[in-house]
């Protein structure tokens, strides 16, 4: 996480009266990253996740989890051989970030009775 984003995350945590220890800042940083991915994808697809409901969210959670398991093996290989770079690793993290978002969609759909 770059220093500008880290500073903004600390501000958010302060407003929410959450301890700004490093672990909390890193965790919120991941959630902010997932939110950024949600915003860009939602601009393309709209609120399709609302129309499809909780069962569809659950299906996507499963597929994103399975993809994440496979990608984790690739990440481990890249790390073991030293062939990985930050850009490649960042692209491989889209699926777990999507998993975070589909989990949020699922919760919202269940709460809304969709």
> Do 65 and 108 belong to one domain?
yes
> Do 54 and 38 belong to one domain?
no
> Do 68 and 83 belong to one domain?
yes
> Do 106 and 85 belong to one domain?
yes
Please give the residue range of the domain that contains residue 107: 50-114
The whole model's pTM is what?
0.86
Alpha carbon distance 31, 60 (integer Å): 18
> Do 35 and 54 belong to one domain?
no
Number of domains in the chain: 2
pLDDT in tens, 35-84: 999 999 999 999 999 999 999 999 999 999 999 998 888 888 877 887 66
> Do 35 and 72 belong to one domain?
no
CB atoms within 10 A of CB 65: 15
Tokens of 109: 């759909």
């Amino acid at each position: 996480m770059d220093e500008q984003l880290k500073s903004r995350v600390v501000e958010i945590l302060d407003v929410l009266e959450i301890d700004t220890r490093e672990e909390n800042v890193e965790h919120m940083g991941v959630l902010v990253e997932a939110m950024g991915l949600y915003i860009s994808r939602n601009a393309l697809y709209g609120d399709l996740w609302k129309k499809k409901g909780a069962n569809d969210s659950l299906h996507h959670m499963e597929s994103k989890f399975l993809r994440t398991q496979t990608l984790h093996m690739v990440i481990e290989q890249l790390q073991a051989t030293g062939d990985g770079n930050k850009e490649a690793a960042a692209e491989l993290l889209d699926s777990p970030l999507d998993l975070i978002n589909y989990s949020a969609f699922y919760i919202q759909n269940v709460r809304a009775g969709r």
